[in-house]
Amino acid sequence: MELAAAKMIGAGLAAIGVLGGGIGVGIVFGNYFNAAARNPALKDELRTYAFLGFALSEATSLFALVIAFIILFG
């Protein structure tokens, strides 16, 4: 197998981690809307935790994307 083909396969496999970030963001905001609908008085307090969960979930997705680019162009 050529080196270029192996890099493409490796980068594609590393980019699968981006899917986890999208799923995580959906779960975080879905649960936030559910909690805010159940108790609207805590909506402002829960928003902070929702954005924290969004940032952490998106960071893991970006790490996977960076690793894919390092494999592809490194």
Of the CATH numbers 3.10.290.10, 1.20.20.10, 3.20.20.540, 3.20.20.70, which one belongs to the domain with range 3-73? 1.20.20.10
Residue ranges covered by each domain of the chain: 3-73
The count of C-alpha atoms lying within 13 angstroms of the C-alpha of 17, restricted to the half-sphere facing its C-beta, is: 18
Express each pLDDT in 6-40 by its tens digit.
999 999 998 898 999 999 999 999 999 999 999 99
Q: Is the pLDDT of residue 1 over 80?
A: no
Residues 6+ apart with CB under 8 A from 64: 14, 15, 16, 17, 18, 20, 21
Res 74: pLDDT? 82
State the Cα–Cα distance between residues 43 and 38, nearest whole angstrom. 10
Express each pLDDT in 44-68 by its tens digit.
999 999 999 999 999 999 999 999 9
